[in-house]
Structure 1
Amino acid sequence: MTASATAITSPSAPPRGRRPLPGFSLSLGLGMAWLGVVVLLPLAALAFKAAGLGAEGWLRAIQDERVQASLKLSFGAALVAAVLALLAGAVVAWVLVRYRFPGRRLLDALVDLPFALPTAVAGIALTAIYSQNGWVGRYLEPAGIKIAYAPAGIVIALVFIGLPFAVRTVQPVLEALGREQEEAAASLGASRLTTLRRVILPELLPALLTGFSLAFARGLGEYGSVIFIAGNLPYKTEIAPLLITIRLEEYDYNGAIAIAALLLAASFVCLLVINAIPQLFRHERRGGNR
């Protein structure tokens, strides 16, 4: 067989047919151009405007009591909701992976519903459920448990939109993990709690941290599903994204830019953490293997 025939029949040789996309350089240039126009350019403009405020402008905008109250509410509610979404998402992912039952595919599809459902629709539905005359609120309000138009309602809305992130980050790891390690631990006499703590959780920890970071970043900037159930009371249930809109309506552009830049910085930190988590655990495992 000649060299040319070997190159044609070799499975490692690239196909010579026309590719549906142009060459690498042109494809990379087009992709980066679209990314720059759609994503990087608006973010760069916000960063440039925020840098132009100066230290005095930043302090004046952030030290406002109303701004501080909204930031505390947004960060606190996003943190609590991310923890709850992580716990619930891990349980849902475990059920979907380890059990077979009627309606499993329907439950798996419902996990992605918050992705497809408009956030305003989700906010209206949650308000209708937990308001004073809602299906659930009519029983909670007489007992002194207020959900709608209270911080608790904001947390519930953020859990609703953050749950899919937790499920979809943990689910593939559980599927790849299998049951061999659990069966080996059980054969060595390990209890269920020991198996969960020493075998399963170390493998799931990177995915759990990633799901938490995604849910937190998503909840931090959530707007549509929160404003209906929050009540939007200044100093009480007013979130930071809503205050940005209010500042723009008041023509306080510097205040809006300062709040938006702070939320953007927090989101970037979450993204950096998400990207650093796999590298960190790979490094630790290599060090442990040595």
Structure 2
Amino acid sequence: MSASLADAAPLSPTALALRRFLRNGTALVAAAVVVLAALLAVFAPWIAPQDPTDADLFRRLCAPAWAAADTAAGYWLGCDSLGRDILSRLIHGARVSLSVAAMVVCIAAVIGTLAGLAAGYFGGWVDALISRLVDTLLGFPYLVFAIGLMAMMGPGLHNIVLALVLKEWIFTCRVVRGETLAAREQDYVEAARALGCSPGHIMLREILPNVLSPVLVVATFRMAYVIIMEASLSFLGLGVQPPTPSWGSMVSDGREFLVDAWWVSTLPGLCILALVLSINLASQGLRDAFDPRLHQSS
């Protein structure tokens, strides 16, 4: 029995990383919160107890069921200034925040990875051109850059995705470029060149699989920041437009009622806090699990 265990094939680096991640209790709880939010977003039309756009001024600013006795029946988190159910709007708002974050991060990861591979592998004028573009975009404050683009293009879901992608890809590009600069000097890349493989084959088949782990970690980290940016733009009225619910616009709608109806702004603000904190903790767990330098002695 012991001989068979000794002869067993060692676990792959990915399997070892997943095992380390599963042993991280904080990261697992955070990941569970993110998965729960994603499920709520996907099944929002069937989970939400009310129509998020159904307004009734007779329910205006009714308190949550657990905060006061004078609340409307069935409205567990109360209603906003137009009498719309806050719980239903929070559930549908998760769909907006997560869909924008997922689209922005995925598109930016693809663009940033391809640009980073080209800059790191070819070097020369290609690297100089991409690096100067990255440096130029880094010089603009993120929120100011997004506000300027949204002011030119107008509010809307597709425009906010485009505005955030135009800035977001540079963070993946910088990481992939650094990893590619190190990988192109490795023996397996030299062997592929000696065999006559094309640069495209070397970048996509040899180098890319070895930079996917840092790309995954960076993309997870950046998703939290994109959610904050989407909420900020919606708060300023430049994001998703009414009557579509968004956590940022919900916080903005309740600014005038912070004293008498604190739940209108506080509850969506807490949702943003919980989701962003959970994504950050989960991404930190992924970084700790996939970084081999942290486990060289194990």
TM-score range, shorter chain: 0.5 to 0.7
% identical equivalent positions: 20
- Counterpart residue number, 1:162: 168
One-letter identity of the residue aligned with 2:224 = A
- Counterpart residue number, 1:235: 243
- SS of the residue corresponding to residue 234 of structure 1 reads coil
One-letter identity of the residue aligned with 1:235 = P
- SS of the residue corresponding to residue 243 of structure 2 reads coil
Which residue of 111, 115, 119 corresponds with 1:96?
A: 119
Is the CA contact 2:120–2:181 (under 8 Å) kept in the aligned structure 1? yes
Cα deviation for residue 149 of structure 1 reads: 2.8
Distance 2:123 2:198 in 1: 24
**Structure 1 residues 120-166: Cα deviation after superposition (integer angstroms, max 9, x where no partner):** 54234324553xxxxxxxxxxxxxxxxx4321111112213322321
Change (3 A) 1:128 1:79: same
Distance 2:128 2:201 in 1: 31
Q: What is the TM-score when the length of structure 1 is the normalising length?
A: 0.60
Is the CA contact 2:234–2:249 (under 8 Å) kept in the aligned structure 1? no
- Counterpart residue number, 1:264: 273
Is the CA contact 1:166–1:212 (under 8 Å) kept in the aligned structure 2? yes
Which residue of 80, 94, 117 corresponds with 1:71?
A: 94
- SS of the residue corresponding to residue 64 of structure 1 reads helix
Distance 1:177 1:171 in 2: 10
Cα deviation for residue 232 of structure 1 reads: 4.5
Is the CA contact 1:114–1:161 (under 8 Å) kept in the aligned structure 2? yes
Which residue of 161, 178, 188 corresponds with 2:184?
A: 178
Is the CA contact 1:151–1:230 (under 8 Å) kept in the aligned structure 2? no
Distance 1:204 1:230 in 2: 35
One-letter identity of the residue aligned with 1:234 = P
Higher helix proportion, which one?
A: 1
Change (3 A) 1:213 1:120: closer
Change (3 A) 1:112 1:239: farther
Distance 1:71 1:118 in 2: 26
The answer to whether 1:200 aligns with 2:207 is: yes
Is the CA contact 2:233–2:248 (under 8 Å) kept in the aligned structure 1? no
Structure whose alpha-carbon radius of gyration is higher: 1
Which residue of 198, 219, 228 corresponds with 1:221?
A: 228
Distance 2:278 2:197 in 1: 39
Distance 2:219 2:226 in 1: 10
One-letter identity of the residue aligned with 2:222 = A
Cα deviation for residue 260 of structure 1 reads: 1.9
> Which has the bigger relative contact order, CA under 8 A and spacing at least 6?
1
Q: What is the TM-score when the length of structure 2 is the normalising length?
A: 0.59
Cα deviation for residue 60 of structure 1 reads: 1.1
**Structure 1 residues 208-234: Cα deviation after superposition (integer angstroms, max 9, x where no partner):** 112211221111001555667845522
